[in-house]
Chain A
Amino acid sequence: MSLRRRLLGMQFTDGLLYKTIVLLLLISFSYIYLYPMLFMLTNSFMNVEDLINPGVKWIPTVVEIENYRRAVQVLELPSAIFSSTSYVLRVSLSATVSSALIGYGFATFNFPLKKVLFALMLATFILPSQVTMVANMLIFRNLGIMSTEQSMILPAIFGQGYNAAIYILIFYQFFKTIPSVLRESAEIDGATPFKVFYKIALPLAIPSLLIVFLFSFVWYWNETFMTGLYVGNPVTLPLKLQSFRASYETLFPPGSFGSELNEAIMLAGNMMTILPLLVLYFLAQRFFTESIDRTGITGE
């Protein structure tokens, strides 16, 4: 009797059986989900024999560190990570700061046309950057910032960067929760709205700042189309990865023994490219998965 009670629970949904089924389902879905990742990880350690051998699927017979050594060489790693990070930091910090300002403006003040402008701001999210790229190329050429990092940073400063609408929305939702009494009392004491923003609102918004910063960091890191077009020279690691094959062949000319580029080396290069993001994700995992609650799309 008690065994049955424990298995099936009071209602079915709180029994052990139900939870086991749920857990099994989740684990199998996770496997499906992680399959490409696991494939990438294990195959990047294989040597040529393992890649061809049908008897080897998951566990390599030898751990081939050589793949990673070559990938590091091809991607010019330590310096590439630094240059990549410093560029992405600059873009994402400008995006974060500007969207904080804009979100505060939308959340705190009442002004004519506010609703229209806010709707317009959200609408920019669905506009493909390919529509604007034709003219933006010409604008950047005229400004003389084509093929420099400025061509990504400038739109980010003006709140038109990649996915900027989401960042502004996150700040908007947060700043709306700050009671206006706080602002009013500070203004009675003689603070200007800029001082209120800087001294009261921003310190309260540190979690939102962090979330927006993390997201913009990751998204700008992963963005290759626009970055490749506007900035040009392989400024980020993923862009370097795009020309992996060519740069491999200049480093290890084809023909010499054991120098062929195989899939394992390519995958090792891929792993190295996403490694910084993985580290960042596992360090700050909580902030990423809390982000959706912060956009407030679930409604109040």
Chain B
Amino acid sequence: MKQVVKTIGLWFQRLGNKIKTFYDVKIDPMLSKIGYALTHNPLIKMNELSVRIFGININITRKRRDAFYGYTFISLWLIGLLIFTLYPMLYALYLSFFEAYYNLQTGITTSFVGFENYFNIFRSQTLVPLFANYVIRMVVSVPLIIVFSIIIAVLINVPMKGKSIFRTIFFLPVIIATGPVIGELTAQNATTLPALENSNVLNFISDNLGSWLAEPMVLLLNSLLLVLWYAGIPILIFLAGLQKIDKSVYEAADIDGASPWDRFWKITLPGISSLISVAVIYIVVTMSLFVESGGILELTRSHMLVGAPDSQFWFGYGYAAAIAWIYFIFMVIIMSVFVLILSGRKEKA
């Protein structure tokens, strides 16, 4: 044990030393050079209240100073946004109108195909059912998760001993839910409740409903536990909202003779209703971005990596970019429909 602690300590010490030498050798001289260049050059000159750049005087006002420092602090993010997010986004949009393949020798080769990639997606026999499944799964499971997490949050909010234990339990999946682990659990049938499997509910559903509706329903029930695992953060969101509701409102309702049932619908739910949209956005994003084997996202990657001009099944970068964009658009549509429904109900009330 002592050995282990010592090794860990040594490791941290080495890490610290590395960072320190890196700072001393690389960053410190660089910073002092920059500082020297800023004060000793003819182009930029700083006086008390004005800066002289290329011969133009700029007066330093409080507003300008604030703006300068603000942009300096977020400059990292701004540069990153341009290089790693906005440019790739637009480039992917551009590529989606091309047939594009990557080759180690020649780099990327493109040929313009117009909207052909998009048409091919909607012609595809594998992708169309996957997209339909995705939409239905979202429509069914997002309300389910919301209801479940509100129930749990209300239950945890009841004042009693051991509250924090339950909070710990319900947050656990956020920590351990990694792709491969979930894949393994699904493969071993650990994500469905045995009670559900033994009853005839599943047979009943698939016998009595059309297959387009029954299949996603059965899929949902089969992975019910995984679906509920997405509730970890929404539970915390609602719990935080519940704790913001003033206790005295409940007391006033008590005096007027409101039942617990009334209090839930008239005080608790309106109190957290604004958070439901936040939770919906969070759930849609995390559920959509989870990569299942055989799902759309994995197909996208395969199209990109395996794609070659002579391939029958894999269509390269342009096709992958088109799928990703369609997926993103679907995601945004689902999210905005949910949010619109929620806000529409609020206006009527």
Contacts and interface: CB of A to CB of B under 8 A. Distances in A.
A273 B178 contact: yes
Interface of B: 11, 15, 63, 66-67, 69-74, 76-81, 83-85, 87-89, 91-92, 95, 102, 108, 152, 155-156, 158, 160, 164, 166-181, 184-185, 188, 190-191, 193, 225-226, 228-229, 233, 236-237, 239-241, 244, 254, 259-260, 274-275, 278, 281, 285, 288-289, 291, 297, 300-301, 304-305, 317, 320-321, 324-325, 327-328, 331-332, 335
Interface in A186-200: 193, 197
Contacts of B155: 22, 25-26, 29
Max chain A CB contacts within 10 Å: which of B83, B155, B172, B185? B172
A37 B241 CA distance: 29
Contacts, number: 271
A76 interface: no
A110 to B, nearest CB: 5
A157 B76 contact: yes
Contacts of B233: 292
Interface of A: 11-13, 18-19, 22-23, 25-26, 29-30, 32-37, 39-40, 43, 82, 86, 89, 98, 101-102, 104-106, 108-112, 114, 117, 120-121, 124-139, 154-155, 157-160, 168, 193, 197, 218, 221-222, 224-225, 229, 238-239, 241-242, 244, 263, 266-267, 270, 273-274, 277-278, 280-281, 285, 288-289, 291-293, 297-299
13 contacts: A33-B170, A35-B190, A37-B172, A105-B72, A127-B89, A131-B92, A131-B327, A134-B88, A160-B85, A218-B175, A238-B180, A288-B174, A298-B275
DSSP majority for the B interface? helix
B327 A130 contact: yes
A288 B95 contact: no
Nearest to A242: B180
A144 to B, nearest CB: 13
A291 B236 contact: yes
Nearest to B165: A30
